[in-house]
Amino acid sequence: MATTVRSDTDARPLTPIEWVILFIAAVGFLFDSYELLMLPLLVRPALADLLGVAPNSLEVNAWVGYMQFSPAIPAGIFGLLGGYLTDLFGRRRVLVWSILVYAFSALAAGYSTSVGWLLFWRCCTFVGICVEFVAAVAWLSEIFQNPTQRERIVGYTQAFGSVGGLLAAAAYYWIVTNAASLPEIRGGHEAWRYMLMSGVFPALPLIIIRPFLPESTMWREKKQAGTLKRPAIGALFAPEYRRTTLVTTVMMACAFAVGFGTIQQAPRIVPGLVEVQAMDRTAVEQTVSGIGTFQEIGGLSGRLLLAFLAAIIIGRRRLLWLFQIPGALLVPIFYFLMPSMGLTWAQFGVFIVGLATIGQFSFWGNYLPRVYPTYLRGTGESFATNVGGRMIGTSGALIATSLVPLMPGESVPFRLAYAAATVGTVAYLIGFLVSFWLPEPKHAELPD
């Protein structure tokens, strides 16, 4: 594999305000993942309580698919609109408003009285996260313009997304252990309510500090000079961008399908394992939080590895294959064998699959800013992420839960393991095949 090491001779030391920008960006990515990754941990007991059925029932399984996929539709639509507004009104302004949306909805979700209200507030949370992510990546990429410095900064700050997943697992463990001593919510001490409401706390420093941070220099200068073209979704399908748009959209859909249809199903597979069935409810939920921890340690390892390799390996396809090929091989091995191999195998499996899959999410944060010009950067990122990843890719969760009744096995968790393996394997194979058409960026610098 051909590699090269890029020179950092043109990289200057970071200023104090740039260090603040890095800190706030890292906290933002952390909070995005915290909000998203709390749902696989709490969705089983939350739906059981709201529906009044057993946690491992087919009714819960069916609703999990809707709960994980349905918010992606409005989130994808508003996320795409948010990318357009990011190019039109600036990166910083859209960032601030998106944070307010999901901070408020996170608090409100904890007071849900029905599955419908829980789904509504999760839709609002997902909308805010999708808009914030696209604006944040464009903002960071344009502030730090040295190619090697930018690759590392975007890569390492996105790695805090996995720190957010670790924080979610740790918070859930603490909450399920101490729920009985916390103040009552709607007359009870359900841990899932406290977990949902905890999402408001990481947003506070972002709400306070982000309005005072600078706008992207590239965007501001073009806006002031009157040379910034008006963004248009149709421009993504002009001859020079059509292939990039279509390929990245399909590949983002495949990556998200594995994330939602395979990895995020593990917290519902584990309670069906023999050694976990003998535990009481608190111990079961603590074990579930442990699975989330293994997943996110794997994801963090993958993101850090990607951030390191992105500044060394020039070929973007070759960089991506370092994650795609192992993932395609390991998903069927670990998930098809998970019901028979037990808890230790499950923990190791979600670590390895998390490393291969979640590392790819950071790849797209590095790749997409390099293939669209300034006036289309937010729109292009948003289309691939929200239409491909959110609106199409998250259907992997709905497909997996829909396949459960058709799978062999003695229980819903075991059938879910086979369904998750099927979805992940197919998504990985499609993504790998399509990657042969992925365009290589023409230059290390961002297109003007």
Looking at 229-373, list the stretches that DSSP marks H as alpha helix, in order from N- to C-terminal side. 239-261, 266-269, 274-277, 281-310, 316-341, 343-367
The fraction of the chain above a pLDDT of 90, given in percent, is 30
* C-alpha–C-alpha distance, residues 249 and 236, integer Å: 11
Of residues 332 and 363, more confidence is placed in 332
C-alpha span between 8 and 151 (Å, rounded): 11
Which span out of 75-89, 195-209, 347-361 was modeled with the highest average pLDDT? 347-361
Question: Cα separation of 346 and 326, whole Å?
Answer: 17
Range ranked top by mean pLDDT from 76-90, 191-205, 290-304, 357-371: 290-304
This prediction has a pTM of: 0.77
Grade residue 417 by pLDDT with cuts at 50, 70 and 90: very high
List 185's β-bridge partners, or say none: 188
Of 175 and 380, which is predicted with more confidence? 175
What share of the chain has pLDDT > 70, as a percent? 84
What is the model's pLDDT at position 207?
67
* Average pLDDT rounded to a whole number, residues 254-275: 91
Q: What integer pLDDT is reported at residue 431 of this predicted model?
A: 95
How far apart CA 52 and CA 113 sit, in angstroms, is: 12
Residues 6+ apart with CB under 8 A from 346: 266, 269, 270, 273, 291, 334, 338
Q: What is the pLDDT of residue 5?
A: 36
Which of the residue ranges 141-145, 268-272, 283-287 would you say has the lowest mean pLDDT? 141-145
Amino acid code (one letter) for 163: V
The pLDDT of residue 220 is 66
Confidence of residue 37 (pLDDT cuts 50, 70, 90): confident
> C-alpha angle with apex 172: 73 to 281, nearest 5 degrees?
105
pLDDT tens for residues 146-162? 767 776 777 777 777 77
Residue 83 has pLDDT above 70, yes or no: no
Residue 188, strand partner residues: 185
What is the structure's pLDDT at 370? Answer: 80
C-alpha–C-alpha distance, residues 420 and 413, integer Å: 10
Structural domains of the chain ordered from first start? 16-437 (1.20.1250.20)
Range in 24-33, 175-184, 188-197, 336-345 with the lowest mean pLDDT: 24-33
Residue 380: its pLDDT value, please?
82
CB atoms within 10 A of CB 170: 14
Which of 54 and 201 is assigned the larger pLDDT? 54
At residue 39, the pLDDT reads 87
pLDDT in the model for residue 6? 41
pLDDT at 399: 94
pLDDT at 7: 42
The mean per-residue pLDDT over the stretch 338-345 comes to 89
pLDDT of amino acid 376: 79
**Start-end of H helices in 2-90:** 16-51, 58-69, 72-89
Mean per-residue pLDDT over the chain, rounded:
83
Q: Are 351 and 297 in contact (CB under 8 A)?
A: yes
Contact 213, 135 (CB under 8 A): no
Q: What is the pLDDT of residue 217?
A: 65
pLDDT at 3: 36
What is the sign, positive or negative, of the torsion defined by CA atoms of 220, 223, 225, 231? positive
- Range of weakest confidence among 72-81, 242-251, 396-405: 72-81
Phi, psi of 185 (to 5 degrees): -125, 120
Identify the pLDDT of residue 430: 96
pLDDT in the model for residue 333: 93
Q: Are 194 and 110 in contact (CB under 8 A)?
A: yes
Residue at token pair 């003998």: 278
